[in-house]
Amino acid sequence: MEGTEGAANVDGDGDGGDRPWQSYHTVYTTAKAGMEGVDKEKVQRVVYEMSKGSKYFQNEERKEAFINQKIQNLRIQCAKLTQADLAHYRKVADRRIVELEASRDLSRIWLHVDMDAFYAAVETLSNPTLQGKPMAVGSMSMISTANYEARKFGVRAAMPGFIARKLCPELIFVPTDFKKYTYYSDLTRKVFRIYDPNFIAGSLDEAYLDITEVCKERNVKSEEIAQELRAGVYEETGLTCSAGVAPNRLLAKVCSDINKPNGQYVLPNDRMAVMTFVSSLPIRKIGGIGKVTEHILKGVFEINTCEQMLEKSCYLYALFSQPTAEFFCSVGLGLGQTDSPQVRFRKSISNERTFSATEDEVLLHKKLVELAEMLSADMQKEGLCGRTLTLKLKTASFEVRTRAVTLQKYISSTEDILKHAKKLLKAELPISVRLIGLRVSQFNGDKCSATPDPTQKTITNFITSGDVNRNGSSFPDVADRDFVSDAETNLSVDNQQQTSQLDWRDPFVGNYLSDGDYQSCVLQKNDGIEEVQTPSNDATSSHHSGFTEALGSTSFQGQFEGINVMNESKLLEGASLNSCCQETTMLWLNDYKCSLCGIELPPSFVEERLEHSDFHLAEKLQKEESRIHQPCVPSGSPKRYRRDAYGKEEKERVENSANVHNGDHRRLNEPNHQRAPHPTQQEKRGSIAQVGQSSGQRKAGERGWWKDTRKQFNERAETSHRREQRDDKSQAKPDDNTFQRRDDFSERKDDPLPTSRKRPAFREKRIPVESGDVNLVVGRNDRKKEERSNNPQHLGRPEKPFADDRAPNKVGGRRDGFPSRGRRYGGNDSYRGRDKFNGRQGYSLDKIQTEKWKHDLYQDVSKDPIPQNEDDKIAKLEALLAS
DNA sequence: ATACATACC
DNA sequence: AACTGGTATGTAT
């Protein structure tokens, strides 16, 4: 659906006064396309009146207060920066900007298509009498989409229905019907495929197309392609859409929103055009910059437009993590992803339900069972097994809690999910909640294909393929791009054995490729391990279960650490007195640079400097201890670590904490050092090490960053208790085959991945940049990031293949503060005459025909496979498939 | 690894 | 009267 909008009234900073509603920063008070004539003051007032005093409202206030506090802190940090600091960060930022500029790629032409008020438009096709009347898809609780008539009243996506009705008493509510939306979505994709067979589906109603080749081959302008495509979509579906064309996906998405609805905007592949475009572009238009980020950037730095990101870049680098600062700067330059679509894998699967708050444990348990069943079914449909289970609770006061466990074995059955979910829930009781959710992540291979031996692998592959194919029809997003080719290969290769395996299994299940069948396969496959393991696990579980388990590990560990921390503190204090006078004497060269590691810490970061010297001290102690236990370890560099199995882990951790501050110092000193992909790390590789550039390099808060090191000390002295735990966990990986195989998959997706720019996130203070040579260090860091980068983020906003669509959040785009699109964005308003929404008149004559036809078509399709009679479960299933 | 927050549809 | 669901990812510990 169309872009997102949020309120973020940065202005009224919460002065109650005569007009208290002005300080209530709702999400939907700002307008979007079709909201020009809306009386925003009135909307704001109504929303406020309907909300004030409610639990929801109170929670919003709480959150807002938190953000404001954050802003205050950032302002203070900002004020603390000295001239020297600023000069330094200016250098860093300028250097990076130059490098970013050098990476600009103007060779591709991206087109972003976005259906206009998709759900509402589809519903209007189904029921033409809705035309011209204010209508919303959704319920009294929540609206997914509102048509343009309704938007005139201030009604918008993500607004609860009861408020919407207050704004527009005539409002017609239409329940969501994802089967229908999926059907029409598939029709649009047929058209997309013509222009880019590898288009990226962002959701049911939007997609990114690389039209570079089409333009070249046919020697036509991108503008014409956009026209043609939109006409094609209309012809195929009777629905209108908007398009944006730009040199990268980030900008294309912004552009598609400019002349919505039923319009398009082309931003030429020209640097000046891009810079001009960006110069007046409000930051909130950028994917990844939401209400909070906007609020912060405006509130702290007075940044309103993308261009101002560059002006304030030194502050951004001073106060945010490097990836975050970099993302901001790249936005200022109008950069975005231009790479070809990558294969993407689902990383988690979940479901959640809201109900009226209760603390009735029996009721809650019942909800949990239902969720576990649904989740298990969903997982088996996709052949997924995961080992991290997360319970989500929303309390009666709207506070959200999550509780997670990571298991030794991969699970997917209702029983397994439930068993652990119960434990998690139990630990929170008593509690009054209004929502429960379950999520499983850390998948075993991407398709539950863990298979210790070749025979079983065949089974699994078959199953996997079967599932994939089944998904193919109903899960176009995923199948289209992600799995089909691989899966087909497997299928054909293993065809024969499948048959026999199936036959063999049939008696057990009596099903053909049903979920039940799948389940049995899984059991079969894992039996060798699990059957043996399960009893022992259970023994362990029961041994640890309940309070024993919780208290056992938690409190014991806590005590243990407590003692050690104290010892360690004393140790450090004592040692620090003379440590600096020995071989490890450290100085601040030029008042900035650590003589030992080259990290730069501005003089104003007094506390950090102290901590930093502590760090070196700790490092030294660590070294010495290493020498004692591992005499063969070289001791020359402060960055060497013990090499025993345990030490490896320690090394990782120490590096992580040290790296943040030392940057690539280690690499400087040991250019040959490559972090070998550790077998047990591979699983992580896809999800954490590479995806989150952050996790590896970024450091936690400024304070106590070296405490990690201190902790390692404790851990080293640690008993076998925890070590065993760790060992258990590494053994937990059922089989390395799994990961091997998974790698085969991921290889394709990981490798080609381009630079990704961080999506904004905040910390209140940032550890100063590392190393003396700004250029070298920053550059290198980046390269490293690029190598690992696996997440197409940012510009490519999560193009989740399986993203779902009930896009409530997309609250329209406000036109105010973002005036005269034509003027501001330059010319090229080829679709000037489009109708805003009364625009439906534009195709009034043949429209009805088209609609009928399409609608009938849809009904034909939908009748056959789906027994109208199915109950909620099927509906839910469909909804999931639709997503 | 866990918990929480932000963002998007 | 009473403010969704599914997924990804960043931040902090």
Is residue A27 within 8 A of residue A291, CB to CB? The reply is yes
A472 pLDDT above the threshold of 90? no
SS3 A633: coil
Structure tokens at A495: 């065809």
Mean pLDDT of A307-313: 97
Is residue A326 within 8 A of residue A757, CB to CB? The reply is yes
Structure tokens at A141: 């609780």
Would you state the pLDDT for residue A568? 30
What contacts A598, CB < 8 A, 6 or more positions away?
A: A662, A663, A665, A668, A770, A771, A772
d(CA A774, CA A755): 20
Q: Where are the alpha helices (DSSP H) in A34-82?
A: 40-51, 55-80
A53 pLDDT above the threshold of 50? yes
A780 pLDDT above the threshold of 50? no
Extents of the domains making up chain A: 110-269, 348-443, 473-707
SS3 A460: helix
Q: Give phi and psi for A48, each to the nearest 5.
A: -60, -50
Residue closest to B9 C1′ by Cα: A807
Structure tokens at A558: 């806590």
Tens digits of per-residue pLDDT, A747-779?
233 333 233 333 444 444 343 333 333 332 333
SS3 A123: helix
- The distance (Å) linking the CA of A405 with the C1' of B1 is 8
Tens digits of per-residue pLDDT, A115-151?
999 999 999 999 999 999 999 999 999 999 999 999 9
- Taking the CB of residue A652, how many other CB atoms lie within 10 A of it? 16
Would you state the pLDDT for residue A461? 29
Residue closest to C5 C1′ by Cα: A352
Nucleotides of C under 7 A from a protein CB: 1-13
Q: Give phi and psi for A619, each to the nearest 5.
A: -60, -45
Tens digits of per-residue pLDDT, A532-544?
222 233 323 322 2
d(CA A712, CA A594): 23
Top-ranked range on mean pLDDT: pick from A341-350, A720-729, A775-784: A341-350
d(CA A350, CA A440): 6
A55 pLDDT above the threshold of 90? yes
d(CA A748, CA A354): 39
A416 pLDDT above the threshold of 70? yes
pLDDT band at A450 (very low <50, low <70, confident <90, very high): very low
Would you state the pLDDT for residue A341? 72
Q: Where are the alpha helices (DSSP H) in A200-311?
A: 212-218, 222-237, 249-258, 271-279, 291-301, 306-311
d(CA A23, CA A10): 10
- The residue among A149, A32, A204, A55 whose CA lies nearest residue A807 is A204
Structure tokens at A701: 């808060």
Would you state the pLDDT for residue A192? 98
Top-ranked range on mean pLDDT: pick from A280-289, A650-659, A791-800: A280-289
- The distance (Å) linking the CA of A664 with the C1' of B5 is 29
pLDDT band at A27 (very low <50, low <70, confident <90, very high): low
Would you state the pLDDT for residue A655? 31
> What is each CA distance from A657 to A416, A492, A663, in whole angstroms?
36, 48, 10
A521 or A17, greater pLDDT: A17
Q: What is the mean pLDDT of chain A?
A: 62
- Per DSSP bridges, beta strands A348-358 and A433-443 are antiparallel
- SS3 of A646-714: HHHHHHHHHHHHHHHHHCCHHHHHCCCCCCCCCHHHHHHHHHHHCCCHHHHHCCCCCCCCCHHHHHHHH
Nucleotides of B under 7 A from a protein CB: 1-9
A361 pLDDT above the threshold of 90? yes
pLDDT band at A358 (very low <50, low <70, confident <90, very high): very high
Residue closest to C1 C1′ by Cα: A162
A274 pLDDT above the threshold of 60? yes
Least confidently predicted of A3-12, A162-171, A280-289, A847-856 = A847-856
Structure tokens at A22: 């002005």
- The residue among A799, A787, A796 whose CA lies nearest residue A754 is A787
- The distance (Å) linking the CA of A709 with the C1' of B3 is 22
d(CA A426, CA A841): 58
Shortest CA to C1' contact from A297: nucleotide? B6
Would you state the pLDDT for residue A267? 98
pLDDT band at A509 (very low <50, low <70, confident <90, very high): very low
Residue closest to C13 C1′ by Cα: A700
Residues of A catalogued as catalytic: 206
Q: Is residue A734 reached through a cis peptide bond, with omega within 30 degrees of 0 on the bond before it?
A: no
- The residue among A39, A35, A41 whose CA lies nearest residue A21 is A41
Would you state the pLDDT for residue A768? 39
Would you state the pLDDT for residue A202? 93
Mean pLDDT of A823-848: 21
A539 or A242, greater pLDDT: A242
Would you state the pLDDT for residue A348? 97
**What residue type is A630 in one-letter code?**
Q
Would you state the pLDDT for residue A548? 24
Place of tokens 């030294």: A620
Would you state the pLDDT for residue A188? 98
Is residue A261 within 8 A of residue A240, CB to CB? The reply is yes
Residue closest to C9 C1′ by Cα: A692
Shortest CA to C1' contact from A346: nucleotide? C7
What contacts A195, CB < 8 A, 6 or more positions away?
A: A111, A209, A211, A214, A225, A229
- The distance (Å) linking the CA of A694 with the C1' of C11 is 9
A434 pLDDT above the threshold of 80? yes
Would you state the pLDDT for residue A598? 55
Would you state the pLDDT for residue A742? 26
Would you state the pLDDT for residue A37? 75
Would you state the pLDDT for residue A445? 77
- The distance (Å) linking the CA of A812 with the C1' of C7 is 21
Is residue A193 within 8 A of residue A199, CB to CB? The reply is yes
- The residue among A870, A686, A699 whose CA lies nearest residue A781 is A699
Cα-Cα-Cα-Cα dihedral sign, residues A316, A318, A324, A329:
positive
Shortest CA to C1' contact from A62: nucleotide? B5
Would you state the pLDDT for residue A647? 26
Tens digits of per-residue pLDDT, A789-822?
223 223 222 222 222 222 222 222 222 222 222 2
Tens digits of per-residue pLDDT, A200-218?
999 999 999 999 999 999 9
CATH 3.30.1490.20 fits A110-269, yes or no: no
d(CA A654, CA A667): 15
SS3 A472: helix
Least confidently predicted of A29-38, A81-90, A592-601 = A592-601
Residue closest to B5 C1′ by Cα: A761
**What residue type is A876 in one-letter code?**
K
Shortest CA to C1' contact from A809: nucleotide? B9
Lay out the sheet containing A433-443: strands in order across. A348-358, A433-443, A386-395, A400-411
Structure tokens at A539: 């023994």
Lay out the sheet containing A110-115: strands in order across. A200-203, A206-210, A110-115, A241-246, A264-266
A881 pLDDT above the threshold of 90? no
A383 pLDDT above the threshold of 90? yes
CATH 3.40.50.1000 fits A348-443, yes or no: no
Residue A684 burial (C-beta neighbours within 10 Å; 0-12, 13-18, 19+): middle
SS3 A752: coil
Residue closest to C7 C1′ by Cα: A803
Shortest CA to C1' contact from A402: nucleotide? B3
The pTM of this model reads 0.59
- The distance (Å) linking the CA of A803 with the C1' of B7 is 13
What DSSP state is assigned to residue A506?
H
A92 pLDDT above the threshold of 70? yes
- The distance (Å) linking the CA of A406 with the C1' of B2 is 10
What contacts A357, CB < 8 A, 6 or more positions away?
A: A395, A396, A432, A433, A434
A377 or A574, greater pLDDT: A377
- The distance (Å) linking the CA of A709 with the C1' of C6 is 38
A421 pLDDT above the threshold of 80? yes
A851 pLDDT above the threshold of 90? no
Cα-Cα-Cα-Cα dihedral sign, residues A33, A37, A38, A41:
positive
How many residues does the structure list for chain A? 883
Residue A226 burial (C-beta neighbours within 10 Å; 0-12, 13-18, 19+): buried
A6 pLDDT above the threshold of 80? no
- Of chain A, the percentage scoring pLDDT greater than 90 comes to 44
- Taking the CB of residue A404, how many other CB atoms lie within 10 A of it? 14
A245 pLDDT above the threshold of 80? yes
Would you state the pLDDT for residue A38? 80
Is residue A379 within 8 A of residue A385, CB to CB? The reply is yes
- The distance (Å) linking the CA of A352 with the C1' of B4 is 17
